Structure 1
Amino acid sequence: MSTEQETVEAQIEPEAVQSDATVSNEEQPHTEVAEHEYTIDELKQELAETKHKAQENWDKALRVHAEMENLKKRMQKDLEDTHKFAITNFAKELLTVMDSLVLGLQAATGDSEDVKKFREGSELTIKQFEAVFNKFNIVTLDPLGSPFNAEQHQAVMMQAVQGVEANTVVNVLQKGYMLNGRLLRPAMVIVAKAAD
């Protein structure tokens, strides 16, 4: 090949390459600009909307988290209450047996040997019941001489009693009981009324 021919080819090739690059560069910017042409105000508005949505989602997440924590605490308290008060019905049934023993002991009068043995046996059985009650946090309410408390006592009647302040418990017909701080059975009482 002659040197003249090489020079012409060298001149033609860069122009062809340059024209190809020019075409491709001209096409790309036009398509990109057409696809992503936003104004600053539009971008600011879109950013504000996105921030607002993000804040809403954050608030929702916080509410769900708080609800889950509250649910967890409620479930834990319910579980504790279930453990504390699981024996409620059983304890109420035992109270009737205890009442029968006390009534039997009160009715046992006389000085015979059999009556004395019965009284001793009943007293021991009552002490065993009281020990079991203490073990399971069942507390006896014996409010004789204390002020009437409507939350723990059930007034059967009112009676005028000399020298006793009004609303004082003057007689306990049936003891009351509490289980772990919750009323199991109110004490049945007679309350002093104000003197006329």
Structure 2
Amino acid sequence: MSNEPNKAQEPQIDEAVEAEVTTEAGGEEASLMDELTQANFRVEELEQALAAAEAKVDEQKDSVVRAAAEVDNIRRRAAIDVEKAHKFALEKFANELLPVIDNMERALAGTDAEAEETKAIYEGVELTLKSFTSAVEKFGLSQVNPQGEAFNPDHHQAIGMQPSAEHPANTVMMVMQKGYLLNDRLLRPAMVMVSQGGGSVDTQA
């Protein structure tokens, strides 16, 4: 009889322990779920931060590439500007020299090379002109003398047209004033008379 109460109490103790274990297990599971949820949030935050960092890096790469390209363009433009400055620095000076050359050529044209009284003057002017022309050619100045050539509007300026049986149409038949180039850039066009050709014009329909 004395052992019956102990037997009746044993199931109650087991149930309490089981309930406590279940509660602890449930608490641990809930805590684990919270930790997993927080870990997921943290992973998402890190992924977003990584994506933002990668986007920033890509943006900075593009900026660096654009900046490098701009620097190259500036250097290239600066080099071209310096080259042009060196190449055409004498343009104004050369323009001032052209009338001097023109006057010496006029002096030669107006002097008789065979006459004794003017022969020495002619030879002196001719020698001076050759030396002068040779000197300016070293700096890129070249003459445009298109006598007998086809008319070129890029280098020639026509002051008129005349019929000619000796020259084909659109041919320079006379050079009134020579032109000049400075390093292949037109400094002054040649003043020319252009041939209309010598063929007769058929006016009959």
TM-score calculated relative to the size of structure 2: 0.72
Deviations 1:62-111 (A, max 9, x none): 11111111111111111111111111111111110010111122122486
Determine if the alignment matches structure 1 residue 106 to structure 2 residue 109. Answer: yes
Residue 46 of structure 1: CA displacement? Answer: 2.3
Identity %: 41
SS of equivalent residue, structure 1 residue 159:
strand
Question: What does residue 146 of structure 1 align with?
Answer: 149
The change in CA–CA distance for 1:166 and 1:86 in structure 2 (over 3 A counts) is same
RMSD: 2.0
Residue 183 of structure 1: CA displacement? Answer: 1.2
Question: What does residue 82 of structure 2 align with?
Answer: 79
Residue ranges of structure 2 left out of the alignment (5+ in a row): 1-34
The change in CA–CA distance for 1:113 and 1:51 in structure 2 (over 3 A counts) is same
Question: What does residue 65 of structure 2 align with?
Answer: 62
In the alignment, which of 45, 48, 52 is matched to residue 45 of structure 1? 48
Deviates more, 1:135-144 or 1:108-117: 108-117
SS of equivalent residue, structure 2 residue 187:
strand
Residue 174 of structure 1: CA displacement? Answer: 0.9
Kindly indicate whether the alpha-carbon contact (under 8 Å) linking 2:113 and 2:123 is maintained by their aligned counterparts in 1: no
**Structure label with greater radius of gyration:** 2
1:100 maps to amino acid = N
2:94 maps to amino acid = A
Question: What does residue 22 of structure 1 align with?
Answer: none
SS of equivalent residue, structure 2 residue 147:
coil
SS of equivalent residue, structure 2 residue 118:
helix
Aligned residues: 162
Determine if the alignment matches structure 1 residue 192 to structure 2 residue 185. Answer: no
2:192 maps to amino acid = V
1:99 maps to amino acid = D
| CA distance in 1: counterparts of 2:141 and 2:62, whole angstroms | 47
Question: What does residue 129 of structure 2 align with?
Answer: 126
| CA distance in 2: counterparts of 1:110 and 1:125, whole angstroms | 15
Kindly indicate whether the alpha-carbon contact (under 8 Å) linking 2:113 and 2:122 is maintained by their aligned counterparts in 1: no
Residue ranges of structure 1 left out of the alignment (5+ in a row): 1-32
In the alignment, which of 92, 95, 106 is matched to residue 95 of structure 2? 92
Kindly indicate whether the alpha-carbon contact (under 8 Å) linking 2:87 and 2:183 is maintained by their aligned counterparts in 1: yes
SS of equivalent residue, structure 2 residue 167:
coil
User: Which contiguous aligned blocks of 4+ residues in structure 1 show a shift greater than 3 angstroms?
Assistant: 36-39, 109-112
Counterparts of 1:17-28 in structure 2, within 5 Å, are none
SS of equivalent residue, structure 2 residue 169:
coil
